[in-house]
Amino acid sequence: MKKLISFFLCLLPLAVWSQVNFAEHVAPIIFDHCTKCHRDGEIAPVPLTTYEEVAASASIIEYVTGIRYMPPWTPDHTYSTFRDENFLTDAEIATIADWVAAGAPQGDPALTPPLPVFPEGSQVGTPDLVLSMSEAFEHQGNNQDMYQVFVLPTGLTQDTDIAAIEVRPGNKNICHHAILGVDITGQAAALDAASTEYGYTQFGGFGFNPTDNFFSAWVPGSNPLVFPPTLGKKLFANSDVLVQMHYGPTAITQTDQSSVNIFFADQPIQRYVQTATINPQNLDELFVIMPGQVKTFHGTLTVPVDVSLIDVAPHGHLICSSYEVYAVSANGQDTINIIKIPEWDFNWQGLFAYPSLMHIPAGYTIHCFGTYDNTADNPTNPNDPPQIMSWGESTTEEMYITFLQYVLYQPGDENISLPTANAEQMMVYPKEQLFPCYPNPAYSEINIGFHLKSPRMLSLEITDMQGRVLESVFTKLSFGMGWHKQSADLSDWPAGQYLYRLHGDGFDESRPFVIQR
Ligand code: HEC
């Protein structure tokens, strides 16, 4: 008996030890959150696709996840929610730490989940127009960052409505992020012609104020922005698309030839996507940060009409340290959080899109706080000793600008979700469908789900079994494509058999349900 107990005792540490292992616990976290950048041919330095690769970096992985440096996700996810969010929960961080403490065991290799499938080629479909860099750009192997603007003529002979813009980085080992603009004046082409190499070097923007200084943006791992049907942008005749590419440091000289896929709108655009900015003109002081100063600028913009916000992109340079943007109603009673970036990181700026359109009513004031640390203690301060900082596009100048893409609001916009451009997800419910309600039989409330292939104005009614309308739940509300759910309160209804009917714009379906008392 004693022997048996000591046998179990010596097994005990083994049991605890084998609790957290790679195959069952750590691989799902790494494959979900890291591998899209950490694999061959992508921007991140080390591949994390197998047990051996992950185990070899176990302690540094514990470190970079523990301090939330990886995965890179700068917005505070408890403040507002974005499409394609990528952050680890406290429990996931703890799992990685426990695994490293246990000696990074593999577990049963057969239990390792498969690697996710990363689509090659366009994630949206077949582009209508591909704008490619006309030659390869050589990024020197001098371990320096490089910011180069490329001018891509569209060749369009007429103004064209577009539904999606997709940046296709040519060399993912060096392409760190891109900001896109549009020029119809030829100024960018002139800057390119004046430069000896292909494109022209420009750190913070395009070197002048182009026709559209925020056509799109891209960072590794981000999905292309596909506007919901009937929303979109206009690309002007004879325009040039400008791509400001940030190349990350590399020890060996490498080339890049990136391209931009443009998808024309296949339905007439009813509402054009517009860009508002909050910039130094919205401040009541000069945008100047003195040496040694930590300064917060507070700009405001009152929204004159109801708008639906699609995405937000704050922009600053190297001494910017945080950003916060929110909207407040005129009576001060309601606040809508837009974005909070507690630790600004120039390397991980991006365009942050909401999962569905965000309504900001007329009369609300948008407040935008940008903080800048111009002290010698700031390790990212480009000047040593610190210098006076003011507006400009170079590394040693600063910017305070937040781009907000929006359309004019229509009732029901809150239901319009932004397609994730992931073909697999879009294929899950290819049919237009009214789903069975739940619960059925119902007592106090029913939930009615439906799926749309294109946006529609719909009405929902509860009828008797002969189709006579007993109650109209809503009338002519607009819904975007995708999944929706609506509820109806039935608490004072008598028991019996009823129908719910969803109809509008050529769609008309009814389904029976029962109320029990
Ligand atoms: C959006 C792309 C992206 C994602 C997602 C991402 N990384 Fe990274 N990672 C990078 C880049 C780029 C670098 C190198 C530059 C840097 O250190 O900022 C890096 C650096 C690292 C390093 C340091 C490597 C070294 O030797 O310097 C580690 C470790 C790391 N990542 C782990 C992870 C882990 C673990 C995850 C998931 C929890 C993750 N990363 C998710 C892009 C990414």
Amino acid identity at 382? P
Which numbered atom of ligand 1 lies nearest the CA of 96? 35
- Cα(318) to ligand 1 centroid in Å equals 20
**Rounded CA separation 300/284 (Å):** 9
**Rounded CA separation 157/235 (Å):** 10
Task: For ligand 1, atom 9, name the residue with the nearest CA.
Answer: 44
Which numbered atom of ligand 1 lies nearest the CA of 36? 5
Contact status, residue 112 vs residue 23, Cβ threshold 8 Å: yes
Q: Is the CB of 44 under 6 A from ligand 1?
A: yes
The tokens describing 350, both together, are 């991006």
- Cα(501) to ligand 1 centroid in Å equals 51
Q: Is the CB of 64 under 6 A from ligand 1?
A: yes
Which numbered atom of ligand 1 lies nearest the CA of 176? 12
Q: Which residues of the chain have pLDDT under 50?
A: 1-17, 421-430
Amino acid identity at 500? Y
Which numbered atom of ligand 1 lies nearest the CA of 61? 29
Residues 6 or more apart whose CB falls under 8 angstroms from that of 374 comprise: 289, 290, 291, 292, 293, 294, 295, 319, 381, 386, 389
Q: Is the CB of 314 under 6 A from ligand 1?
A: no
**Rounded CA separation 422/20 (Å):** 32
Contact status, residue 253 vs residue 173, Cβ threshold 8 Å: no
Residues 6 or more apart whose CB falls under 8 angstroms from that of 348 comprise: 72, 73, 74, 177, 219
**Rounded CA separation 225/223 (Å):** 6
pLDDT in tens, 286-336: 999 999 999 999 999 999 999 999 999 998 888 999 999 999 999 999 999
Contact status, residue 361 vs residue 369, Cβ threshold 8 Å: no
Contact status, residue 200 vs residue 146, Cβ threshold 8 Å: no
Task: For ligand 1, atom 27, name the residue with the nearest CA.
Answer: 45
Residues 6 or more apart whose CB falls under 8 angstroms from that of 323 comprise: 314, 316, 339, 340, 341, 344, 368, 369, 370, 371, 402
Which numbered atom of ligand 1 lies nearest the CA of 29? 38
Q: How many residues does the chain have?
A: 517
- Cα(466) to ligand 1 centroid in Å equals 62
Q: What is the pLDDT of residue 36?
A: 84
The tokens describing 310, both together, are 């699609």
Contact status, residue 174 vs residue 248, Cβ threshold 8 Å: yes
Burial classification of residue 426, based on how many CB atoms lie within 10 Å of its CB (0-12 exposed, 13-18 middle, 19 or more buried): middle
Q: What is the pLDDT of residue 483?
A: 62
Task: For ligand 1, atom 31, name the residue with the nearest CA.
Answer: 70
- Cα(70) to ligand 1 centroid in Å equals 6
Across 157-176, b (16+ Cβ under 10 Å) vs e yields: eeebbbbbbbbbbbbbbbbb
pLDDT in tens, 116-143: 877 677 777 788 999 999 999 999 998 8
Across 20-29, b (16+ Cβ under 10 Å) vs e yields: bbbbebbbeb
Q: What is the pLDDT of residue 419?
A: 65
Of the candidates 395, 394, 339, the residue with the CA atom closest to the CA atom of residue 366 = 339
Q: What is the pLDDT of residue 350?
A: 80
pLDDT in tens, 477-496: 888 766 677 888 999 999 99
Q: Is the CB of 223 under 6 A from ligand 1?
A: no
Q: What is the pLDDT of residue 429?
A: 37
Q: Is the CB of 65 under 6 A from ligand 1?
A: yes
Q: What is the pLDDT of residue 363?
A: 96
Q: What is the pLDDT of residue 471?
A: 93
Task: For ligand 1, atom 7, name the residue with the nearest CA.
Answer: 71
Task: For ligand 1, atom 14, name the residue with the nearest CA.
Answer: 44
Task: For ligand 1, atom 37, name the residue with the nearest CA.
Answer: 34
Q: What is the dihedral of CA 378, 383, 386, 388, to 10 degrees?
A: -120
Residues 6 or more apart whose CB falls under 8 angstroms from that of 147 comprise: 201, 202, 203, 204, 244, 245, 246, 247
**Rounded CA separation 228/226 (Å):** 6
- Cα(69) to ligand 1 centroid in Å equals 8
- Cα(371) to ligand 1 centroid in Å equals 26
**Rounded CA separation 247/235 (Å):** 26
Task: For ligand 1, atom 36, name the residue with the nearest CA.
Answer: 34
Q: Is the CB of 221 under 6 A from ligand 1?
A: yes
Q: Is the CB of 230 under 6 A from ligand 1?
A: no
**Rounded CA separation 133/151 (Å):** 8
Which single residue is written with the structure tokens 């910011």? 147
**Rounded CA separation 336/324 (Å):** 12
Contact status, residue 131 vs residue 240, Cβ threshold 8 Å: no
The tokens describing 95, both together, are 């799992």
Q: Is the CB of 86 under 6 A from ligand 1?
A: yes
Contact status, residue 163 vs residue 264, Cβ threshold 8 Å: yes
Contact status, residue 200 vs residue 148, Cβ threshold 8 Å: yes
Which numbered atom of ligand 1 lies nearest the CA of 63? 29
Residue to mutate (ligand 1; options 42, 65, 70; most atoms within 8 A of CB): 70
Q: Is the CB of 60 under 6 A from ligand 1?
A: yes
- Cα(98) to ligand 1 centroid in Å equals 20
